[in-house]
Chain A
């Protein structure tokens, strides 16, 4: 059979988002790939130039909808850098709880989509069941299940609800046990191992040259976690370790990337439990919204020439926000919001990882890089 191009996307059940992947195949083998991004470009950066700094937070939520809290917090840290705001410590702990819960939920969503990619429908439903637990916790914290608009410049929207610590601890302890069940159906399943080991090798040096970060690069043995290397917030006070795999000579395969994320889920759960124990003021006290214990004072305007920058460990890699002040409304709007999305950098690299493998490996490889097109296309 001659070589032919097939187009996967923009709407395709496997592609984890709306983008086109054109694949050139020779029989069952992939010979070349060409990704085509931009299908859901919404112009977020331009929209943000016409919004107040407080109003941008919900837009940052919607960048990557599966991982909303990580993106809105990434923006908030950059805005606090721009406006030079002091954040009370309790607010930092609450933010950490929100971000890590969101990270668990995002990884569960990834795993819940990865299981049917390799053919297991049960894993999908189980992961989404756990994600429901996390989303319930995030619903209590933030007010809705997916887009919370939780952080404010200088603190958080409101304190931990009453009884939240109890429910959070109970759910996370159950979750830590449930992870072992997922491992039973995934790690201890020959077919899964045969599908994901030896498939989709990616070398650490190539990834670093390309700019890939996050779990993908940690799976290749390179210990770079922004929370560990350049600690922001209170991550240096918590008891945790980044999850790094030790890959083979050929590089990291899909199985390594899967392992890194499972271990990251565990680490995030332990981080939240630790944070609830260490929270200043106790996890069971409840301050009213706007209390100085959870919300510091923040100016509303940034003059021209002021800039703010922050890099943040998103569920999928290193995300960066750059804000330049001095926009419309006498400085209430930013002049420029620049968003660096880790997936925009990773997807072209991941597409090249697929060459040489079979068509059936495309969902396994692409899924293992955890693409989220919302943040890619912005």
Chain B
């Protein structure tokens, strides 16, 4: 019934074998004697099942250290038996957190983008599409958005900044000034008012842009109306606040994958997120920083993408204009 070569309940196995193996393990934890060949796991044992017992062949070592990736250049010891600085002095495997941190000792474990750490959002490139909110299995993400008229669109014609706000496009938002809103806004006294400031614009979705009129489906009434081009200005959906409830988050990473605008990341941070109350775990925008390098790269990528899209649209519009003229 026993299928290990030495597995018989005899005197040798009573104390000799177990005590010798624990002594070996203990001696291996000391600096210089621990590195002696006699004590290693693969020191004197025969290889199993025909496999080579050596860790790395020379060819493998050559091949891997030749790559340019920063992770490869490190001398790798599989069990943290040694570090580069103290090849004979480092044992045992315990990492003395918080004095030693694992991401400094083994950075390949904490590659940002691979590691499911704390959530990080780049709010500059976020368009509030709410894909992350929808994909989260636990409803951790809360995003409050608002439809607004860009401040540049509120300038008068003739102002140098006029015309640089949000462009109207199909599927985007349009805003029309409500009647009487200018007087109401001028009469409104914020300091003594008991109600909210009056609405200045009404918002709707742009259905059609061809021709002279613009078809807009208003949000309030739901009806479609054709309006003249000068009556409406473009509006945009902006984030008012974003919040991640880390208490519910299970760090699955689906939100990172669902973001189409390269704005949602999981950093490689695993500590510093604790608090004393559940509300402490609601991370507002200021606590969702991303690594500077990751941040800059992602913003660059996203802006380049958008610039590309804008250029393509401009080219298409120019081509259409040229065609219509011709």
A residues engaging B (CB < 8 A)? 51-52, 54-59, 62, 122, 126, 129, 132-133, 136, 139-140, 142-144, 147-149, 157-158, 161-163, 166-167, 169-171, 173-174, 176-181, 183-185, 187-191, 193-194, 197, 245-248, 253, 255-256, 259, 266, 270, 273, 289
The answer to whether B114 touches A143 (Cβ under 8 A) is yes
Partner of A259, one of B4, B11, B69, B109: B4
Partner of B6, one of A178, A188, A273: A188
CA distance A263 to B257 in the complex (A): 38
CA distance A246 to B1 in the complex (A): 7
Partner of A170, one of B8, B56, B251: B56
Inter-chain contacts of A163 with B (CB < 8 A): 64, 67, 69, 71-72, 108
Inter-chain contacts of A173 with B (CB < 8 A): 42, 51-55, 78
Inter-chain contacts of A181 with B (CB < 8 A): 21, 25, 41
The answer to whether B116 touches A143 (Cβ under 8 A) is yes
Inter-chain contacts of A176 with B (CB < 8 A): 48-49, 51, 53
The answer to whether A174 touches B42 (Cβ under 8 A) is yes
Inter-chain contacts of A140 with B (CB < 8 A): 108-109, 111, 114
The answer to whether B49 touches A170 (Cβ under 8 A) is no
Q: What 5 A-B pairs come out closest when comparing CB atoms? A: A143-B116, A187-B4, A58-B252, A55-B137, A188-B17
State how many angstroms separate the Cβ of A191 from the closest Cβ of chain B.
7
CA distance A51 to B41 in the complex (A): 48
Which residue of the partner chain B has the closest CB to A52? B135
Interface centre among B20, B41, B67, B111 (most CB of A within 10 A): B41
The answer to whether B135 touches A289 (Cβ under 8 A) is no
Inter-chain contacts of A149 with B (CB < 8 A): 116, 252-254
The answer to whether B45 touches A177 (Cβ under 8 A) is yes
For chain A, what secondary structure do more than half of its interface residues adopt (helix, strand, loop), or is it mixed?
helix
CA distance A177 to B79 in the complex (A): 12
State whether A162 and B69 are in contact (beta carbons under 8 Å apart), knowing that A133-B79, A171-B78 are contacts in the complex.
yes
State how many angstroms separate the Cβ of B41 from the closest Cβ of chain A.
4
Interface centre among B8, B21, B60 (most CB of A within 10 A): B21
Inter-chain contacts of B191 with A (CB < 8 A): none
CA distance A163 to B69 in the complex (A): 9
The answer to whether B93 touches A184 (Cβ under 8 A) is no
18 additional A-B residue pairs with CB within 8 Å, beyond A132-B93, A157-B253, A158-B114 = A57-B252, A133-B78, A143-B114, A163-B72, A167-B78, A173-B53, A177-B41, A177-B45, A184-B20, A185-B18, A187-B6, A188-B4, A189-B13, A247-B1, A256-B1, A259-B4, A270-B49, A270-B51
Inter-chain contacts of B85 with A (CB < 8 A): none
Inter-chain contacts of B55 with A (CB < 8 A): 170, 173-174
The answer to whether B7 touches A187 (Cβ under 8 A) is yes
Inter-chain contacts of A54 with B (CB < 8 A): 135, 254
CA distance A277 to B28 in the complex (A): 32
CA distance A256 to B3 in the complex (A): 9
Asked whether any CB of chain A lies closer than 8 Å to the CB of B250, the reply is yes
Partner of B250, one of A147, A170, A266: A147
The answer to whether B22 touches A185 (Cβ under 8 A) is yes
CA distance A187 to B4 in the complex (A): 7
Inter-chain contacts of A129 with B (CB < 8 A): 79, 93
Inter-chain contacts of A136 with B (CB < 8 A): 106, 109
Inter-chain contacts of B253 with A (CB < 8 A): 143, 149, 157
Asked whether any CB of chain A lies closer than 8 Å to the CB of B220, the reply is no
CA distance A238 to B176 in the complex (A): 67
The answer to whether B3 touches A245 (Cβ under 8 A) is yes
Asked whether any CB of chain A lies closer than 8 Å to the CB of B98, the reply is no
State whether A180 and B48 are in contact (beta carbons under 8 Å apart), knowing that A140-B109, A189-B17, A193-B7 are contacts in the complex.
yes
Inter-chain contacts of B78 with A (CB < 8 A): 133, 167, 170-171, 173-174
Inter-chain contacts of B54 with A (CB < 8 A): 173
Asked whether any CB of chain A lies closer than 8 Å to the CB of B10, the reply is yes
Inter-chain contacts of A179 with B (CB < 8 A): 48
Inter-chain contacts of B11 with A (CB < 8 A): 190
State whether A170 and B25 are in contact (beta carbons under 8 Å apart), knowing that A143-B115, A144-B251, A161-B111 are contacts in the complex.
no
A-B contact pairs, 19 of them (CB 8 A): A143-B266, A144-B251, A147-B250, A166-B56, A170-B56, A171-B79, A173-B42, A179-B48, A185-B21, A185-B22, A187-B4, A188-B6, A190-B10, A190-B13, A193-B7, A194-B9, A256-B1, A259-B3, A266-B49
Asked whether any CB of chain A lies closer than 8 Å to the CB of B76, the reply is yes
The answer to whether A189 touches B72 (Cβ under 8 A) is no
Chain B residues 46-85 with CB under 8 Å of chain A are: 48-49, 51-56, 60, 64, 67, 69, 71-72, 76, 78-79
The answer to whether B14 touches A191 (Cβ under 8 A) is yes
Partner of A255, one of B1, B41, B111: B1
Partner of B72, one of A52, A162, A253: A162
The answer to whether B13 touches A193 (Cβ under 8 A) is yes
Inter-chain contacts of B69 with A (CB < 8 A): 162-163
Which residue of the partner chain B has the closest CB to A180? B45
